[in-house]
């Protein structure tokens, strides 16, 4: 598997979406600040500022939305103000996480040349959501006869979409590095199992060759040193992944909050559209609405399916590694003391250090409230408490699933 190839592809995608300010150098295998990435984020920031300003200018679509459903208009304004903070936080999150990312990348072995199954899965995780989005976009463009919408309407939509696109990079970065860590964990399990098996076979051969005396199992220094190296590599991998996980945790939770409000907007608009609003539109525009509404659920669902997939695979590999170690430790009489100690040490690392679950309860902090609470309109207090309720509920569901 070529780790650098996967990381470079991930890096290019995250730069294009405005999440990363760094460029991955294949020689040093580190993410370094790049002028091109900084300029790209600056351009996206200027574009976002121009789109954001369209929500505060006279607009027919916003006026119709306000007249038809003041509640949906309030949710849209809430999404806009939350997106402003999220866009800024995405840049901060990227800069903060790069230390943990570089540390974790150092735990990966040398690159292979051939395209492996694990590398193909990594590319699938990387491009799954964007492929779904591209498919819906092509369908909507076809229904619109490939005609561009009004510039102001397009900018109003982009102001709501760009923050989600940027912060969603945290999911893709986490999924890719979690999957690469899972592949590395599987490799360490296989190598450690081979070393333990070799030692057990050697001990059985020594016992069979001794017919008149009972000798204690022996272990060669090279075998013991190899297992000690594997234990250290496992410890480094788990510690560095935990460090990276802590850096990414807040980004994933904030994205969950943004998605919760987005899903609420989609569900509320769908119910109203099917009940009454569809009478105002022709059949072609109805299909456009249904496709656009479905794309919200499909893209968000695809993100979290990928996230759950890597979580399940990592937990599966961890439990599989633990089962192998327990089987080895059960043969205590056949193991030298040093080998038994190394197996026990690996087991403790997997039990106590390697954690991948999110906090069951999100600890309240003033900075969290400042980020998620909106500051617009005369009903600011009502919408603040409403968003806090949906945020806490989303985080609870998110932590239960993961």
| Average pLDDT over all residues of the chain | 81
Contact of 254 with 371, CB cutoff 8 Å: yes
**Cβ atoms of residues 258 and 167 within 8 Å:** yes
Count of other CB atoms within 10 angstroms of residue 372: 21
Q: Is the pLDDT of residue 276 over 70?
A: yes
Does residue 363 surpass a pLDDT of 90? no
Radius of gyration of the chain (CA): 26
- DSSP element (H, E) containing 310: helix 283-330
The answer to the question of residue 389 being in a domain is yes
- For residue 114, CA distances in Å to 75, 82, 139, 235, 401 come to 49, 44, 36, 28, 35
pLDDT band at 40 (very low <50, low <70, confident <90, very high): very high
CA distances from 200 to 17, 31, 223, 346, 373 (A): 52, 43, 11, 17, 60
Confirm whether 355 is domain-assigned. yes
Q: Is 296 domain-assigned?
A: yes
Mean predicted confidence (pLDDT) in 195-224: 56
Q: Is residue 133 part of a domain?
A: yes
Assigned domain for 211 exists? no
| pLDDT score for 359 | 47
* pLDDT on residue 42: 93
Q: How confident is the model at residue 38 (pLDDT cuts 50, 70, 90)?
A: very high
Give a yes or no: residue 210 inside a domain: no
Q: Give the CA dihedral 218, 221, 227, 229, nearest 10 degrees.
A: 170
pLDDT at 103: 93
The CA dihedral of 272, 276, 278, 280, to the nearest 10 degrees, is -120
pTM of the model: 0.84
Q: Is residue 209 part of a domain?
A: no
The answer to whether residue 267 is domain-embedded is yes
Cα 246 from Cα 255, distance rounded (Å): 15
Q: How confident is the model at residue 273 (pLDDT cuts 50, 70, 90)?
A: confident
3-state secondary structure of 26: coil
What pLDDT band is residue 206 in, cutting at 50, 70 and 90? low
For residue 28, what is the enclosing H or E element?
none
What pLDDT is stored for residue 203 in this prediction? 54
Distance between CA atoms of residues 386 and 394, nearest Å: 12
Mean pLDDT of 106-117: 85
Alpha carbon dihedral 37, 170, 296, 401, in 10-degree steps, equals 170
Calculate mean pLDDT across residues 7-26. Answer: 92
Residue span of the structural domain in which 41 resides: 3-203+222-401
* Segments in 144-209 forming alpha helices (H): 151-167, 169-209
pLDDT in tens, 131-141: 999 999 999 99
Task: Quickly state the pLDDT bin for 200 (edges 50, 70, 90).
Answer: low
Question: Looking at the 3D structure of the chain, how many domains does it have?
Answer: 1
Task: Note the pLDDT tens digit of each residue in 364-401.
Answer: 444 444 444 544 444 444 444 444 455 445 444 444 44
């Amino acid at each position: 598997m070529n780790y650098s190839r996967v990381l470079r592809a991930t890096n290019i995608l995250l730069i294009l979406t405005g999440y990363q300010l760094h460029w991955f150098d294949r020689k040093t295998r580190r993410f370094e600040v790049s002028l091109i990435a900084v300029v790209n984020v600056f351009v996206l920031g200027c574009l976002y500022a121009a789109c954001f300003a369209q929500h505060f200018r006279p607009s027919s679509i916003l006026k119709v939305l306000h007249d038809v459903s003041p509640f949906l208009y309030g949710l849209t304004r809430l999404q806009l103000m939350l997106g402003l903070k999220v866009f800024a936080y995405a840049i901060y999150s990227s800069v903060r996480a790069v230390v943990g990312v570089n540390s974790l990348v150092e735990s990966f072995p040398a690159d292979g040349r051939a395209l492996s199954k694990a590398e193909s899965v990594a590319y699938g995780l990387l491009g799954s959501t964007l492929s779904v989005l591209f498919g819906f976009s092509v369908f909507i463009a076809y229904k619109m006869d490939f005609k561009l919408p009004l510039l102001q309407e397009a900018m109003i939509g982009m102001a709501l979409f760009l923050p989600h696109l940027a912060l969603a990079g945290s999911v893709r970065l986490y999924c890719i590095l979690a999957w690469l860590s899972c592949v590395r964990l599987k490799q360490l399990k296989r190598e450690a199992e081979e070393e333990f098996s070799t030692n057990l076979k050697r001990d059985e051969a020594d016992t069979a060759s001794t017919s008149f005396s009972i000798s204690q199992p022996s272990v060669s220094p090279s075998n013991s040193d190899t297992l000690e190296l594997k234990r250290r590599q496992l410890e480094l991998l788990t510690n560095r992944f935990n460090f990276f996980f802590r850096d990414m945790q807040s980004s994933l939770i904030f994205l969950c909050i943004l998605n919760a409000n987005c899903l609420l907007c989609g569900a509320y608009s769908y119910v109203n559209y099917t009940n009454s609003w569809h009478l105002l539109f022709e059949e072609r525009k109805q299909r456009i609405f249904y496709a656009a509404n479905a794309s919200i659920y499909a893209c968000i669902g695809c993100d979290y399916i990928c996230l759950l997939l890597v979580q399940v695979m990592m937990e599966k590999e961890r439990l599989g590694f633990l089962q192998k170690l327990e089987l080895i430790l059960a043969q205590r009489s056949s193991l030298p003391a040093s080998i038994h100690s190394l197996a026990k040490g690996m087991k403790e690392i997997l039990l106590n250090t390697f954690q991948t679950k999110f906090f069951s309860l999100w600890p309240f902090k003033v900075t969290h409230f400042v980020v998620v609470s909106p500051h617009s309109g005369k009903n600011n207090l009502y919408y603040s408490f409403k968003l806090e309720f949906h945020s806490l509920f989303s985080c609870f569901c998110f932590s239960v699933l993961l």
